[in-house]
Amino acid sequence: MGCLDEGHFNGELENELSIGLGEVGFDEERVAAIGDAVKLLLQGLGEDVNREGLRKTPLRVAKALLEGTRGYRQKVNEIVGDALFPEAGLDNNRIGHAGGAGGLVVVRDLDHFSYCESCLLPFQIKCHVGYVPSGKRVLGLSKLSRVTDVFAKRLQEPQRLADEVCLGLQQGIKPAGVAVILQCKHLHFPDIESIFLESNHQRWVNVIVSSGSGVFGNKNADVWTDFFGLLKFRDIDIENVRPRGSSDQCWCPSVSSLSAKVSSKIVPLNPAMVTAVSSILKSLGEDPMRKELAATPSQYVKWLLNFQSIDMDVKLNGTLSGGLNSLNSNLEVNSNNKQICSELNLPFWSQCEHHLLPFHGVVHIGYFLSEGFTCIGKSLLQSIVHFYGFKLQLQEQLTRQIAETISPLLGGNVIVVVEASHTCMISRGIEKIGSSTSTIAVLGHFSTDRAARAAFLQSIPTPTYCEGQ
């Protein structure tokens, strides 16, 4: 392995960053307007907008939102352009359909994301598009994904998104017909109070929607059978597709029946915060008065208030003093204090303070129980995790805070691992669906005992927090 020339590397990095920022090309007026609105939201949460972790948050949020809704400023015709290529199809003396004269083309597993119009949180999309060429012309395959992205990068609802992609392709390439299947997955973020009451919180809401035009206009047409036949091994069946106009049309957890069990405490909303969200919608190119967006500012503020800045230390100290009287001691520790006690897969939910986007996952805690100390019960550890989770956070900071809080309760020998999925990784930047981040904090004996660390890490099960189940 060669040595890194640090001076040369830093110079190259600065050059790349300068070029990258220059290529973004955001409307400065829109960025400033959204940034000012974000500052109002942070102040409404009781935060200091000038503290180190938040100084650049308004700018980051503004750029992320504008990038995530760039579809408002794009047109399908500009993307399709001259990407239609000649393909003759079958000879005239042959019977059937193929190529540019009626041959079905299906592109599967196009990963996208969109912002939910009801709560402004991103949701994941796996798109499958099929079309039947006509006029002896076929479309460059990458354009199917780019056209889908035009409509995904707007405030959306699954059925309307499928319809807009379908119509956009039908009008843009004028095929014999277009079929669109969307598998959508929306994070169901819990209420700060209800999370302590629900032991089996459902992390995801899943829905499959479809749209068809031309020869796909009739849902019973034979061509749909061919289309679903090519999707069968993707675990997509026509029986699983949500019927158009079904009673559960509103799929967003913030306004659906999943949110029926909410806190009984009604918190009055700050009018300035609601107005700030409305101004953000307008700056993105939307009409805040549109029927589907009428309740969105209030819904978003309600969700944001989960992370209101409060004196967490006071609340946490009360919990610890009350919980230590009922601690669990059913784990055995050998005479050499070498038995690792552990609690694995403690769920957590949090909010990235850099982008105001959620991240969630699980916390694994291990410790050597020192003489004179008692095992901590799972419920108390879970409470500590939630207390630090429900605030504007960084995963690295969350990991450290949990470790430092439980360490004095257990004698100082603690290891904490946090595994999380970050919404900002799919809705901005690299847009990498399925990625995860792990952080670790080791205190006391674990910081010097490599074998102990390895034994604990080996005990951590395969993560399931990213799955949409």
Domain-terminating residue out of 264, 281, 296: 264
Within a domain: residue 166?
yes
Within a domain: residue 62?
no
Both 90 and 212 in one domain: the answer is: yes
Within a domain: residue 170?
yes
Q: Are strands 392-393 and 358-368 parallel, antiparallel or unpaired?
A: unpaired
- The position carrying tokens 């690295």 is 396
Which burial class, exposed, middle or buried, applies to 316 when counting CB atoms under 10 A from its CB (0-12, 13-18, 19+)? middle
Domain-terminating residue out of 264, 280, 295: 264
Distance, in Å, from the CA atom of 12 to the CA atom of 299, rounded to the nearest integer, reads: 44
Listing from the earlier edge strand, what are the strands of the sheet with 392-393? 392-393, 340-352, 358-368, 414-422, 437-443
Both 233 and 98 in one domain: the answer is: yes
Q: Are strands 177-187 and 155-156 parallel, antiparallel or unpaired?
A: unpaired
State the residue range of the domain holding 356.
Answer: 312-321+337-459
pLDDT at 54: 95
Within a domain: residue 382?
yes
Torsion angle (degrees, nearest 10) of CA 275, 277, 278, 284: 150
Give how far Cα 269 sits from Cα of 36, 37, 88, 294, Å: 19, 16, 62, 15
pLDDT at 82: 76
b/e per residue 211-222 (b: at least 16 CB within 10 A): bbbbbbeeeebe
DSSP state letter for 81: T
Both 79 and 218 in one domain: the answer is: yes
DSSP state letter for 307: G
Quote the tokens at residue 356: 């105001």
Question: What is the sign, positive or negative, of the torsion defined by CA atoms of 84, 90, 95, 96?
Answer: negative
Q: What does the DSSP assignment read for 226-237?
A: HHHHHHGGGT--
Can you give the length of the chain in residues?
A: 469
* Phi-psi region at 196: left, alpha or beta (left = phi > 0; alpha = psi -120 to 50): alpha
Both 317 and 189 in one domain: the answer is: no
pLDDT at 319: 53
Distance, in Å, from the CA atom of 308 to the CA atom of 187, rounded to the nearest integer, reads: 20
Within a domain: residue 363?
yes
b/e per residue 427-452 (b: at least 16 CB within 10 A): bbeeeebeeeeebbbbbbbbeebeeb
pLDDT at 457: 95
**Which of these, 206, 72, 94, lies nearest to 149 by C-alpha position?**
72
Both 240 and 317 in one domain: the answer is: no
**Which of these, 399, 341, 412, lies nearest to 370 by C-alpha position?**
412
Both 233 and 316 in one domain: the answer is: no
b/e per residue 399-410 (b: at least 16 CB within 10 A): bbbbbebbbebb
Distance, in Å, from the CA atom of 297 to the CA atom of 281, rounded to the nearest integer, reads: 9
Domain count of the chain? 2
Q: 10-residue block means of pLDDT along the chain (469 residues)?
A: 48 40 66 97 95 94 93 90 74 59 87 94 93 87 93 96 96 93 90 64 87 93 90 73 71 68 62 97 95 94 84 53 43 52 93 93 92 83 92 96 94 95 77 84 95 93 61
Distance, in Å, from the CA atom of 308 to the CA atom of 383, rounded to the nearest integer, reads: 17
Quote the tokens at residue 142: 């990458």
Both 255 and 316 in one domain: the answer is: no
Both 447 and 366 in one domain: the answer is: yes
Within a domain: residue 28?
no
Distance, in Å, from the CA atom of 100 to the CA atom of 381, rounded to the nearest integer, reads: 62
Distance, in Å, from the CA atom of 365 to the CA atom of 402, rounded to the nearest integer, reads: 9
Both 342 and 260 in one domain: the answer is: no
Within a domain: residue 36?
no
Contact between 453 and 415 (Cβ < 8 Å): yes
Both 235 and 381 in one domain: the answer is: no
CATH classification at residue 144: 3.30.1130.10
Name residues whose C-beta falls within 8 Å of residue 430's C-beta, 6 or more positions apart in sequence.
Answer: none
Within a domain: residue 126?
yes
Both 362 and 450 in one domain: the answer is: yes
Listing from the earlier edge strand, what are the strands of the sheet with 204-214? 155-156, 105-116, 122-132, 177-187, 204-214
Both 75 and 205 in one domain: the answer is: yes
Name residues whose C-beta falls within 8 Å of residue 73's C-beta, 6 or more positions apart in sequence.
Answer: 285
Contact between 54 and 48 (Cβ < 8 Å): yes
- CA–chain centroid gap for 427, Å, is 7
